Amino acid sequence: MMWNDNLKIGVELIDSEHHELCDRIDKLFAACGKGHGKDEIVSTVEFLESYTKKHFSEEEKLQRASSYPKCAAHKAMHEYFKSKITEFKRDLQENGATVSTVSATNYFLMDWLLNHIQKVDSELAQYIAH
């Protein structure tokens, strides 16, 4: 639902990882729609915590390898996302999965990822392609 070819930036490894990230967020979204969001949220957040560590470091490696000038700013965005994941995880541990937490988390994940892929990562891909 969320992933489509328009989101491809043209770097195969990155595209397949973005696809995986989108699918996971879709899964959470679908679970919310069936009233099972609370069951799915913890595993989604934990998956994202480990998967984004790997994914972002691969993207950052690619940037260093091509001497990308916006490397530091891009990394700062990744760090922001990681800090949000840590925050969501702590909130879930302390307050449990309330309906408002689940929907706020889901909305943030979808919005951030789509925006990041379409603007920030595609700008990187354009730079690499030149």
CA distance 37 to 27: 9
- Angle ∠(42,43,47) on CA atoms, nearest 5: 120
DSSP letter string over 75-89? HHHHHHHHHHHHHHH
Cα separations (Å) of 105 from 96, 97, 109? Answer: 13, 10, 6
Select from 7, 121, 129, 130 the one that contacts Fe ion (CB under 5 A). 121
Q: Shortest distance, CB of residue 29 to Fe ion, whole angstroms?
A: 21
Q: Which window, 22-30, 39-47, 52-60, 96-104, contacts Fe ion (CB under 5 A)?
A: 52-60
The stretch among 9-17, 31-39, 59-67, 81-89 that binds Fe ion (CB under 5 A) is 59-67
Q: Which stretch binds Fe ion (CB under 5 A): 40-48, 80-88, 95-103, 115-123?
A: 115-123
Nearest to Fe ion of 42, 47 (CB atom): 47
Q: Is 15 in the site for Fe ion (CB under 5 A)?
A: no
User: CA–CA separation, 60 vs 75, rounded Å?
Assistant: 7
C-beta of 67: minimal distance to Fe ion in Å? 17
